[in-house]
Amino acid sequence: MFWDKMQKINKYYIYALLVIALVIPMFVPLGLPISITADTRKVYDLMEKIPPGSPILMSFDYTANAVAEMDPMATALLKQAFKRGLKVVLFSQGDQGAVLAQKIGDDLAGKMKKNYGTDYVHLGYKPGGTVVLRRMVEDLWDAAANVDMNGKPLSSFPLMQNIKKITDVKAIVVISNGSPGFVEWLNYVTGPQKMPLFGGTVSVMVPGYMPYVQSGQFAGLLQGSRGTAEYELLIKEPGKAVSAQDSQSLSHLYLVTLLVLGNLGYFLRKKPADGR
């Protein structure tokens, strides 16, 4: 009987189909519907309200273990900034973040025809922790030791001529998976200076950050891979995060189907003579 056979399916077939459900959307996006949440739209609107040509600082405060979730988020935020003609100062509170920022910044700049020194500058990682952030308020050049990540003088970059202290940028955009990250920027820079602070974080950090969002201390927050997928749709640049949501949705649908079939099979199968 059909339902009896269903109870004896080899488990490896089940695992194989799950892998297929996860992998296919990575190569062939399905375009499954994704609703846009208010929090994601707020981040998008904040970036849209910054006048073209204005400078912002993007702080890549995440580590290599979070690249799967954070790289697409950082790419989407920087892509929107470049599309709008914003001038971007890249920075990181950690050495790993600085390397990740350089890769994403240079890759996007090449694709979008943005020039280093004019459209963006990468300050890199400056040792000193919160001392560096506090010094940025008074003298950003001095806090950066007067050089970019590659050791070139900041005085040689047209972009930096009108950015002498942190308040010369219009907003601080943070991509973080923990500490140091948002809280350090809030405590030492954006809070005291009344500057806009927004960006994104990994899913597991969202509950801890929501009180800051609700109080207005964080102007906006992208929430993990789902938030990035929504953001990619808003900027009309569907990418890895949208594909990941397709994989997640399809695999969840597959698992729910298995649960339904498994329960149906249990109740409809031919029962042994003893009734068990």
Q: Could you please report the per-residue DSSP string of 139-169?
A: -HHHHTTTB-TTS-BGGG-GGGGG-SSGGGS
Is the pLDDT confidence value at 15 over 70?
A: no
pLDDT of residue 245: 58
Instruction: Output DSSP code: residue 188.
Output: I
What pLDDT shows up at residue 31? 63
For the chain, give the mean pLDDT: 87
C-alpha pair distances (Å), 42 with each of 39, 47, 120, 223, 261: 5, 9, 24, 12, 41
Q: Which residue segment(s) compose the domain that 253 sits in?
A: 2-28+246-268
pLDDT at residue 269 is higher than 80:
no
Q: Within its chain, how far is the Cα of 40 from the centroid?
A: 11
**Is 47 among the domain residues?**
yes
Owner of token pair 């954070």: 70
Strand 197-201: give its sheet, edge to edge: 120-125, 87-92, 55-61, 172-176, 197-201, 220-223
Q: How many domains, the chain?
A: 2
Is the pLDDT score of 264 beyond 90? Answer: no
Question: Are 66 and 142 contained in the same domain?
Answer: yes
Could you report the per-residue pLDDT of 91-121, keeping only the tens digit for each?
Answer: 999 999 999 999 999 999 999 999 999 999 9
Q: Are 113 and 23 part of one and the same domain?
A: no
Among 166-180, 197-211, 256-270, the least confident range: 256-270
Q: State whether 184 and 222 are in the same domain.
A: yes
Between CA 74 and CA 228 the distance in angstroms is 9
Amino acid code (one letter) for 38: A
Does residue 117 sit within a domain?
yes
Looking at the structure, tell me whether residues 253 and 169 fall in a common domain.
no
Based on the fold, state whether residues 73 and 14 are members of the same structural domain. Answer: no
CA 82 to chain centroid, in Å, comes to 16
